[in-house]
């Protein structure tokens, strides 16, 4: 299996990468991995074990306690910490608040990128994140970069939070998205940016099916 059989989808927070990536994976029978959950899992680990995010050595040692598992025949995944399933905690607002800062740490990034490349080498996979096309699998033949305005992204994220019973004002959701965009794009290590050969898709006025269709029209599949 070669990296060029993987599909990279990058883009800013709440640009639809996960929803669209999962739909596309189902349509073309690929596995799916949202690499954001890896950075979230490390953030959860730091908070849970009360490790200072600047204590990189201790955090990297602790990453070994995390297990990232695919659930066969689905686009779902499970993250375990010390054999406890922590998946449902990874999208909560406390993690959201701290994750961008953890993701600026270059040593943590290289540890996670190693795991991501191993997965990419052994699976037909759609991988979503911020640096997939630029750093993780630069040889991927198919690379997409999703964009959408911060208002549209905040509307989507606000609706998602509401559905899961999380009550945050629209203004707070929007300002946190903008704050994370700033950290993700301005960081020194693997900043969020399209690869030179990415196809840019602005999803502001498109629904999920339209974006998936646009991707399928541009994909070269060679299993
Ligand atoms: O996509 P997400 O919101 O779950 O990502 C959480 C954080 O992790 C986000 O602030 C950026 C970071 N991240 C990253 O730096 N590189 C990736 N490949 C994926 C996520």
Could you give all domains of the chain from N- to C-terminal order, each with its CATH number?
3-218 (3.40.50.300)
What distance in angstroms lies between residue 178's CA and the mean position of ligand 1's atoms? 14
Residue 18 near residue 128, CB atoms below 8 Å: yes
Best probe residue, ligand 1, of 36, 137, 189 (max atoms within 8 Å of C-beta): 36
Name every protein residue with a CB atom under 6 angstroms from any ligand 1 atom.
13, 35-36, 39-40, 99-100, 103, 129-132, 180, 184
The mean predicted confidence, pLDDT, of the chain is: 91
Q: Over the stretch 101-135, which tens digit does the pLDDT of each residue have?
A: 899 999 999 999 999 999 888 778 999 999 999 99
Distance, in Å, from the CA atom of 103 to the CA atom of 105, rounded to the nearest integer, reads 5
Decide if pLDDT at 3 tops 60. no
In ligand 1, the atom with minimum distance to the C-alpha of 90 is 4
Q: Which residues of 16-25 are buried (b: 16+ CB within 10 A; e: fewer)?
A: bbbbbbbbbb
Q: How confident is the model at residue 4 (pLDDT cuts 50, 70, 90)?
A: low
129 against 222, higher pLDDT: 129
Residue 1's pLDDT is 45
Per-residue pLDDT for 23 more than 70? yes
Q: If you measure from the C-alpha of residue 99 to the centroid of ligand 1, how many angstroms do you get, rounded to a whole number?
A: 7
pLDDT tens, 62-108? 998 998 887 766 778 899 999 899 999 998 888 988 898 899 999 99
């Amino acid at each position: 299996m070669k990296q060029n059989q993987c599909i990279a989808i990058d883009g800013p927070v709440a640009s639809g990468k996960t929803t669209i990536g999962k739909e596309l994976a189902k349509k073309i029978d690929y596995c799916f991995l949202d690499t954001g959950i890896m950075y979230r899992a490390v953030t959860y680990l730091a908070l849970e074990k009360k490790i200072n995010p600047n204590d990189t050595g201790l955090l990297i040692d602790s990453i070994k306690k995390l297990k990232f598992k695919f659930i066969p025949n689905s686009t779902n995944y499970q993250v375990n910490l010390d054999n406890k399933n922590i998946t449902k905690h990874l999208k909560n607002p406390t993690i959201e608040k701290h994750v961008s800062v953890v993701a600026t740490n270059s040593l943590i990034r290289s540890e996670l990128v190693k795991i991501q490349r191993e997965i990419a080498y052994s699976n037909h996979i759609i991988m979503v994140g911020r640096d997939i096309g630029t750093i993780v699998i630069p040889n991927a033949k198919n690379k997409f970069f999703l964009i959408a305005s911060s208002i549209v992204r905040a509307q989507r994220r606000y609706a998602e939070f509401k559905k899961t019973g999380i009550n945050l004002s629209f203004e707070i959701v929007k300002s946190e998205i903008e704050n994370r965009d700033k950290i993700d794009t301005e960081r020194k290590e693997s900043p969020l940016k399209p690869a030179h050969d990415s196809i840019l898709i602005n999803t502001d006025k498109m629904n999920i099916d339209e974006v998936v269709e646009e991707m399928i029209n541009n994909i070269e599949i060679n299993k």
